[in-house]
Amino acid sequence: MNRKSIKLMISLIVISVVSCDEPETVVTNYVHPDGSVTRKIEMRNLENKFDKSGIQVPFDSTWTITDSIEIEKEGDTIWVKRGVKNFINIDEINLSYKADSGANKEISRQTGFRKRFKWFNTEFRFSEKIDKKMKFGYPVSEVLNEEELKYFYSPEGLKHDNDWGPDSLKFRALNDSIKLKTDTWTAKNLVAEWIGAFSELTREKTGSDISHESLKAREDEFVRIIEANHENLDSLWSNGILLREFIGESNALRYKYEADSAVEIAAGNFWVNFKEYSVRILMPGKLIGTNGFIDSSQVLLWPVKSDYFLTEQYEMWAESKISNVWAWVISAIFLVFVLSGVIIRIMKRGS
């Protein structure tokens, strides 16, 4: 099988879906102790083109917007649009996600905020979750090891530093390995999604030979067939040849409609309309936990790419704490009081 071809095919599909003219967007969430969030958006584009339908996050006239132009070192003119809005609570943010009509309206996003009083400290947790698209796909952690996963989720800046740094050979090899594995993973996900969708559509009708379990058992075989025939996939499918290979001639005739519907469902889940962006979070107090990347100004950073939420929920979370000084003072006074009483008792008993 020509892996390179499949890679190219999938990349082109993804690129074409990613489309043109999307600004490079960074969303910064300034989380406040009372649960309100100040969101800042910065969008940079080579053209002065910021269509609402092309913006990656909900953004409208209720934001305080400023426009500017920057000239980069190599002479590029960069159009910059910045917006700030204060959300009273995360419910407001979630409502805006539900009503989103921008570039990423098809994906389901939700923010979460939690405040826990633990006497000496108050702990805060803020998260942004993106629900998975594919129902039957495999988590990427099943195909990549720990080091590869870390690289997979890294922001572009860090990847570039690694690729051009002192261990560049190691990281480029890592990159190649990830590309290979994710190609196979992508194909496997497509097949798994098709099998799942097809099984759901034919649940009450099918016999044991095309039950979900029997199809699942032959999943790797299907992946190999697809990889072997990647160049003529469309024609092979529309002629019914591939389907006959998968489920036999009689079943292929009987369930052609369901099979085609399953392909549409799988493709719909796989080829999501999505434009990448980056998310930053600034938490109140001292940071105590996160799954993001910390930048030099102690702000947390996550890239958001379609691969990340294809087969599993992508959660960006951060936790921080603020010391409750008054609780410390009260506790200290209480301890001193009890200790004094104990000492007085010991002294009186001694005398």
Residues at the contact surface with other proteins, assessed by CB under 8 A: 12, 14-16, 18-21, 24, 26, 42, 46-47, 73-77, 118-121, 154-158, 160-161, 164, 169, 173, 176, 276, 278, 280, 286-290, 293-297, 299, 301, 303, 305, 319, 321, 331, 334-335, 337-342, 344-345
**In this complex, which beta carbon is closest to other proteins, that of residue 162 or of residue 206?**
162
The pair of three-digit structure tokens given for residue 330, joined into one six-digit string: 């009260």
- Angle made by CA atoms 298, 115, 302, in degrees to the nearest 5: 35
Nearest approach, Cβ of residue 236 and other proteins (Å): 27
Residues 6+ apart with CB under 8 A from 271: 13, 14, 17
Bridge-partner residues for 173, per DSSP?
A: none
Shortest Cβ distance from residue 121 to other proteins (Å)?
7
Report which of 217, 213, 203 is spatially closest to residue 258, judged by C-alpha positions: 203
| Choice between 34 and 164, CB closer to other proteins | 164
Q: Which is nearer to other proteins, 228 or 294 (CB)?
A: 294
Question: In angstroms, how far is CA 21 from the centroid of its own chain?
Answer: 22
CA–CA gap between residue 185 and residue 143 (Å, rounded): 7
Q: Residue 120 to residues 69, 170, 320, 324: CA-CA distances in angstroms?
A: 47, 45, 13, 5
Closer to other proteins by Cβ: residue 248 or 334? 334
- The least distance separating other proteins from the CB of residue 19, rounded to whole angstroms, comes to 7
Residues for the chain: how many in total?
Answer: 351
Min dist. Cβ of residue 303 to other proteins (A): 7
**Between residues 27 and 262, which has the closer beta carbon with respect to other proteins?**
27
Distance in Å, CB of 17 to other proteins, minimum:
10
Name the residue nearer to other proteins (CB basis): 88 or 346: 346
Alpha-carbon distance of 207 to 254, in angstroms, equals: 12
Q: Describe the crossing of helices 3-18 and 168-201 by its angle, rounded to 10 degrees.
A: 80
Name the minimum Å distance from CB 313 to other proteins.
Answer: 22
Nearest one of 272, 16, 284 to 125, comparing CA atoms? 284
